Amino acid sequence: MTTTVRTSALLGISDLTVRFELPDATVDAVTGVSLAVAPGELLAVVGESGCGKSVLAHALLGLLPANATVTGRAVLHGGEAPVDLLGAGEKILARTVRGRRIGLVPQSPATALTPVRTGRHLLAETLRVHGRARGDAEAVAADAGLAPADLDLYPHELSGGMAQRLATALALAPDPPLLLADEPTSGLDRLLVDATLDLLRQRCDNGATVILITHDLAAAQRVADTVAVMYASRIVEHRPAAGFFAGPRHPYAHALLEALPDRAFAPIPGHPPMLTELPAGCAFAPRCPRAADECGSRPGLAPDGPGRVACHRPIGSHP
C-alpha cells in the first residue's frame, strides 16, 4: 500500500507500526497508522485502555524501549527543516525535538518528575534552558492551574492532580509547536479538567498543534477539531469532530459513545482482542452487532484525510 502525507501538515505519519518482541510472543501495539495533523489542529486520539495510544506518542518521540521495532514514516514540518522523527536518531531527538519542537505531557507524571527538585526549580530550569525568563514560572504554572505555593512542594508532596498540572506546565513552558498530551486531565476534578482542556484549545487557536490522547470522550467533544478512534492497534475512524459526535460511522466508535453516562450508558460487550493474537479479519467483529461474513477479511482505511472509516458495514451505509 502506498501512502501519501500532505505537505501542509505539521506532522505527517504514514504507515507507522510498532511491535514489541517478548520472549514468547509479539505485541502488535500500533499497526499501519497514517495521520496528517495540520497547524492549529487539535486532534483527539481516543480508544479503550491498551489500544496503542501512548505507544504511538512515544514512537514519535523516540521513547520506546529496546524491544520495540518501529516501521513507517513520521515527518515533523514547521521548523527550519523537516525532521524525519523515526530516522533522526537519539542525538537529534534529544537536542532539537523533545521538549522544543514536540512537548509531551506524560501519562503518569508523578513517576516522570525528578524527585529532588521542587516544582519551582523544575519549571525555572525548563524556562532557562529554552531561553525564557525564570520569572515566568508562576505565570506558566497559573495557566496550568497551580498556585505559587504549590511550586514550593517536592514531587512526592504533590497530589496526583497537582503532579498532572505541573507536568502540563513543564510541557507548555518551552511553547512547543506540537504538544502530545497523554491523558492530561486524569486525576483532575471537573473544573480543572475543563480549564486544562480550554488551555489546550487556546494553544491551538494561537496556531500550535495538539494531539490529545484521552479515554474521556466528553473531553474530546469539548475541544477537538478532529477525532481518531483506535481499536486493537489500528485507527478505525478518523473524522472531523462535529460529524463524528453527531454520527460515528464505525460500530466500535458508536459503541464507545453509547457507553457514555449521558447517552445510553451501555457497556460494550466482550473485550478487545489480545495484541499478541490479532485476528486476520476485522478485530472488532467478535463484539460487533453489525458483523457479517465479509468482516472475516480486514477492512482497509483510506491513507489520509479525515472522513475515513475502516469498516465493511459502517453505520449509515448498510441496513
**How many chain residues bind ligand ATP (CB under 6 A)?**
17
Q: Dihedral angle at the C-alpha atoms of 292, 294, 297, 298, nearest 10 degrees?
A: -70
What would the grid cell of residue 170 be? 513543564
Give yes or no for a contact between 150 and 192, defined as CB atoms under 8 angstroms apart: no
50/286 with CB nearer ligand ATP: 50
Contact pick of 11, 13, 46, 55 for ligand ATP (by CB under 6 A): 55
Residue 47: CB minimum distance to Ni ion, A: 10
- Quick one: what does residue 65 bind among Ni ion, ligand ATP, none, with the CB cut-off 5 to 8 Å set by partner type? ligand ATP
Determine if 65 is a binding residue for ligand ATP (CB under 6 A).
yes
49/206 with CB nearer ligand ATP: 49
Those residues whose C-beta lies under 8 Å from the C-beta of residue 242, and which sit 6 or more positions away, are none
The residue nearest Ni ion at its CB is 54
| Residue 231: its H or E element | strand 226-231
What would the grid cell of residue 14 be? 504514514
Alpha-carbon separation of residue 204 from 80, 140, 176, 218 (angstroms): 20, 17, 11, 18
**Residue ranges in 72-132 assigned as alpha helix (H):** 90-92, 109-112, 119-129
Determine if 231 is a binding residue for ligand ATP (CB under 6 A).
no
- Quick one: what does residue 27 bind among ligand ATP, Ni ion, none, with the CB cut-off 5 to 8 Å set by partner type? ligand ATP
What would the grid cell of residue 193 be? 479538567
18/171 with CB nearer ligand ATP: 18
55/76 with CB nearer ligand ATP: 55
Determine if 51 is a binding residue for ligand ATP (CB under 6 A).
yes
Hey, what amino acid is at 246?
Answer: A
Contact pick of 13, 20, 123, 168 for ligand ATP (by CB under 6 A): 20
Neighbours of 5 (CB within 10 A): 20
Residues forming contacts to ligand ATP in the complex (CB under 6 A) are: 20, 22, 27, 29, 47, 49-55, 65, 67, 107, 215, 275
